[in-house]
Amino acid sequence: MPVPAASLKRLAMIRHVIYLLVAAAVIVPFIARLHVGDFQPGPHATKLYKKLDSLPAGTRVLLSFDFDPGSDAELTPMGLALLRHCFKKDLVPLVMTNYPAGLDLARKIMEDAVDDSQKLWGKKKVSGRDYVLLGFRPGQVNLVLKMGENLKTAFETDYYGKPTVDMRALKGVRSLKDLKLVIGISSSAWVETWIIYGADRFGFEYGAGATAVMAPDLYPFLDTGQMVGLLGGLRGAADYEALIKQRGRGTLGMSAQSAAHLLVIVLVLAANVRFVFRRLSGREKG
């Protein structure tokens, strides 16, 4: 209901105080380099990790980064952790995106992962041989169906313009049916699209990464076995980084996330304490 002007002013002041507290809760842990310490990765992230870890070296894995820069904060750490794992295990990641706005993001994640592979494990990864950045093609669901028929005609060249037809990294991969595992990271309904039009049709196993808001909606797919694992939000990224034993933005964000969550809990409890106190006072007066 509409609020009187005086209350609006008071609410505005309280709001500003809350904003300052939230800012402090997020910034201070970064500046003070506070770490939450070791934590147990969740079961869904562990399932995805085990699945990827069980693949032999040289296995081609498709990763679809279906998000735009708006979801960069939550989903990029996941993408990076997965690529690092792929390079550590000498798998051959094939990276694509269904978002034109996400193409550049996919490229950056790929390049960062390639640099990390060199730094962390001394493994130099070469495009076209050890990985492929397929890029973006329009078509949405039709693109998935086309990839299910012939991946190389769906992506005739990679992001860098090299033809895919004789690419070493795509040897033995004619279509999605030849892939053992596909992982989709998305902030929208693309996870379900990959399951319905991809995994169910072409028989590959599917793992997903999603924002924290969308992750609970995907639990039923885990129960039915249509997904082999799920990374949910920044916590999912941190879980995966813990599993591959490489700290990244996900782990770094846990301290800020913990502080922010705790702050919200404290604020809610404080507001309720005040609320209850006022009610009781009112009763006493009455």
Token output for 247? 């700290």
Helix spans in 32-128 (H): 43-53, 72-88, 103-121
Give the contacts of 78 (CB within 8 A, at least 6 positions apart).
185, 209, 231, 236, 237, 240, 250
Please say whether the beta carbons of 71 and 101 come within 8 A.
no
Burial of 26 (0-12, 13-18, 19+ CB in 10 A): middle
Using the rule CB under 8 A, give the single segment among 59-67, 78-86, 173-181, 268-276 that binds another protein.
268-276
Q: What is the largest CA-CA distance in the chain?
A: 85
Q: Taking CB under 8 A as the rule, does residue 224 contact another protein?
A: no
The 119-138 contact track toward another protein, x by CB under 8 A, reads: --xxxx-x-----------x
Binding residue for another protein, selected from 50, 156, 174, 281, defined by CB under 8 A? 156
Q: Taking CB under 8 A as the rule, does residue 258 contact another protein?
A: yes
Fill in the amino acid letter for 71.
S
Q: Taking CB under 8 A as the rule, does residue 104 contact another protein?
A: yes
| Shortest Å, Cβ 53 to another protein | 15
Q: Taking CB under 8 A as the rule, does residue 34 contact another protein?
A: no
Q: Which helix (H) or strand (E) holds 152?
A: helix 151-154
Using the rule CB under 8 A, give the single segment among 48-56, 92-100, 170-178, 251-259 that binds another protein.
251-259
Burial of 147 (0-12, 13-18, 19+ CB in 10 A): buried
The 157-186 contact track toward another protein, x by CB under 8 A, reads: ------------------------------
Please say whether the beta carbons of 209 and 183 come within 8 A.
yes
- CB closer to another protein out of 40 and 282: 40
Interface contacts to another protein, rule CB under 8 A: 1-3, 5, 8, 11-12, 14-15, 18-19, 21-23, 26, 36-37, 39-40, 42, 68-70, 72-73, 101, 104-105, 108, 121-124, 126, 138-140, 142, 150, 153, 156, 187-188, 212-214, 216-217, 219-220, 233, 235, 238, 254, 257-258, 260-265, 267-269, 271-272, 275-276
